[in-house]
Each structure stands twice: as structure tokens, then as C-alpha cells.
Amino acid sequence: MKQIVGVIDSFNFNSENLEKLFYSKKTYHIEIVKSISIFEPKKWLTRFGKPLTQNIVEAKILHTNMGLTLPIKRYSASQHKQTLEFAGLHAYNESAEQRKTLLKELITHIQDEFISRIDIAIDFKSKVPNRVLQALNKSRTPYQYKNTSYLKTGKEKKSNPKINILIYPKHIKENLDSEIWRLEFSFRGGYFNKHTIKELDKAYKKMEKTIKRLSSVNVKIKAL
């Protein structure tokens, strides 16, 4: 199979001093949704479409002057660090470009922070090729939920701490005119083994090898 471009759709990182990146600038505002004295789960659900889970001990929303809203979370397992999530970096809309712009502005200031998640999106017209599906099925079993097929190992339950793989119709999710099917590899913190952002090139190469091994897709990840 010829080389295919893989694009970063989600990018999360952990930091002990995350909010300091924004406090000195008037273009950002941080809103508290969950803390010791504040709990507004409906606001979080309305904004991000997902409920606050019990393992999130603190939740905040980063607002930018461009109209972006990004989730900031503190998990019970690592309460000394906050996680900033950039989701939908490869969506087919204007806000995706704004999120990419913000991430690129931050990237030089967060080189020593730890990568906690990177989702790699590979989009196909019409359908995912059969030989890719056959390769994936050698090590994983597909489970269908609504429009999405989740490919799970025999030992997995709800989520894999290292790699989640899913296939879904992107054109339905975003109401696009042309048919696009997305193969997505979601690499989690357990996969990166404390890689920092300055080690992104090393992480790209590792992910490319993993994607080829699991799916036979010869992918080249488009760097940030």
C-alpha cells in the first residue's frame, strides 16, 4: 500500500503549571466548573457533550478571544497535574483551524510537558479498504455501537490504556457532502511512557510503526 498521510486529530498534554500559560494574557479566561466549592456538571455537558466522570476531581474551561472553549481536567490518579485537551484538530470546520493555531502558539512553551494522548486520523473516501480491515481483525475484534466500530483486543474492557482503534463515518458526524470514513488510532499515556513534547519526532516514528503493524497502512504522520 502506498504511503498515506495521518493527521493529528486530538492532542493532550499534562502540566503542573498549566494555567500559568494563560493567566498573564488578557485573551484567555478560565472558568471553574468543578472544584471543592463549585460543581456545575450541566455546564460541562452542554459545552463538551460528555459528562464529568468521577475520576475528574477538578474541571475548568479555557475560553479564548477567538471563541474557543477547551477542557482542563485534573484526574484523581495524578492530582498534581492538569490536562489540557485539544480535540477535533482535524475536523472539517473553522474552529479546527483555530484550535491548531492556538496549539502551535503554545508548542514552544510546553516542550518539557508530558504527552498524555494523541489521536491519529486516517480518512478514506467511500470506505476503509478491505485489506486494512483484515489486518486489524487479526489482533482485534470489532464491536459496533451506533455508527462507530470499536476494535478491541480480547483483554480489553471499556478502554485500552495504550491504544484505542475505531472506525466511523466522518461525513455523518459532521454532515459533510462527500462520504468520508475515518480510521482513528487513539494513543494514550500508557503508550508514550512519559514522552515529553520535545520528543514528538520520536513519538511520530513510534506511532507510524505501530499503525503499520496493526493495520498494514504505511502512514506518514503530518507534524504539528
> For 120-142, how does the pLDDT look when each residue is reduced to its tens digit (9 = 90+)?
999 999 899 999 999 999 999 99
**Sequence-distant (≥ 6) Cβ neighbours of residue 139 within 8 angstroms:** 153, 214
Cα–Cα distance between 66 and 99 in angstroms, integer? 9
Domain of 123, CATH number, reads 3.30.2030
The pLDDT confidence band at residue 1, using thresholds 50, 70 and 90, is low
Predicted pLDDT at 167: 97
Does 158 score more than 80 pLDDT? no
Predicted pLDDT at 154: 85
List the grid coordinates of 74. 485534573
- State the pTM of this model: 0.94
CA atoms within 13 A on the CB side of 58: 16
Domain extent for 214: 4-9+115-222
Predicted pLDDT at 31: 96
Is 150 within the bounds of a domain? yes
Does 191 score more than 70 pLDDT? yes
List the grid coordinates of 87. 480535540
Number of domains in the chain: 1
Is 84 within the bounds of a domain? no
Cα–Cα distance between 98 and 6 in angstroms, integer? 20
The pLDDT confidence band at residue 42, using thresholds 50, 70 and 90, is very high
Cα–Cα distance between 179 and 67 in angstroms, integer? 29
Cα–Cα distance between 207 and 32 in angstroms, integer? 34
List the grid coordinates of 14. 499534562
The pLDDT confidence band at residue 223, using thresholds 50, 70 and 90, is very high
Does 93 score more than 90 pLDDT? no
Distance set, CA 74 to CA 35, 81, 203 (Å): 10, 6, 24
Task: Name the average pLDDT for the chain.
Answer: 94
Yes or no: say if 168 and 190 are a contact pair by the CB < 8 Å rule: no
Is 101 within the bounds of a domain? no
Is 208 within the bounds of a domain? yes
List the grid coordinates of 59. 474541571
Tell me, letter by letter, the H, E, C secondary structure of 127-173: CCCHHHHHHHHCCCEEEEECCEEEEECCCCCCCCCCEEEEEEEHHHH
Is 51 within the bounds of a domain? no
Is 141 within the bounds of a domain? yes
Mean pLDDT of 111-117: 96
Stretch among 20-24, 97-101, 125-129, 179-183 having the lowest mean pLDDT: 20-24
Q: Return the percentage of the chain with pLDDT > 70, whole number.
A: 100
Mean pLDDT of 34-56: 95
Q: Is the four-CA dihedral 148, 72, 108, 115 of positive or negative sign?
A: negative
Is 102 within the bounds of a domain? no
Is 211 within the bounds of a domain? yes
